[in-house]
Amino acid sequence: MKKLIISLFFLLFLSLSLSAQKNNYSEKYGGTLNLGIGIGGYSGYYGYAESSLPVFNINYEFDAAKSFTLAPFLTYYSYSNSYYWGDHNNPYKYYNYHETVIPIGVKGTYYLDQLFKANSNWDFYLAGSLGFAIVSSSWDAGYNGDVNYYHHPNTLFLDIHIGTEYHLSSKLGIFLDISTGVSTIGLAIH
């Protein structure tokens, strides 16, 4: 699925960069609240959960330099599953495992609009995010199995992003952010 999204993104990117038009909105990157939903978990978000899950992300971009923004962010996802466990001292039954992961950090974004001569309806960017993940996990009372069943990676992380935003108006846009951590789609409020 990620390969399909990446392929579509690059086709869209190529077609738009080849047909740049007159600017309709003045370029403004900072002062933007981004609200996104994406997919993460085992295959893409720091290796915590055992499967891909819905992930919620919020960040606020502010200008740091020409065509460059910084955006503190907060991400959230939660995972639950039941496991059948028992031994010679404990009857076999289902026990629930629950995990919540909250990555916090900062994302640095460089906008490529001038390089690609994109019209101001579109923003194209490369970014990197650095942060740490707060992890809370628990098992049902009475579970005496391996509580370290999940071997979590380091809580520090570094992700690489490529993305685009389409401005619906001077105040609202929609974005697609493809990342080594979690890919999101959402609203940008300027």
Residues 35-55: pLDDT tens digits? 999 976 544 445 555 567 889
Please give the Cα distance from 88 to 38 (Å, whole number): 43
Nearest to 35 by CA among 68, 63, 60: 60
What is the CA 50 to chain-centroid distance, rounded?
Answer: 17
76-123 pLDDT, tens digit per residue, is 988 888 888 888 888 899 999 888 888 899 999 999 999 999 898 999
All structural domains of the chain, each given as residue ranges with its CATH number in brackets, are 2-18+40-184 (2.40.160)
Q: What is the mean pLDDT of residues 6-23?
A: 41
The DSSP bridge partners found for residue 187 are 35, 174
Q: Which helix (H) or strand (E) holds 114?
A: helix 113-116
* Pair type for strands 68-87 and 90-111: antiparallel
Token representation of residue 143: 């579970």
pLDDT for res 5: 46
Residue with the larger pLDDT of the pair 106 and 25: 106
Q: Name the CA radius of gyration of the chain, rounded.
A: 20
DSSP state, 148?
T
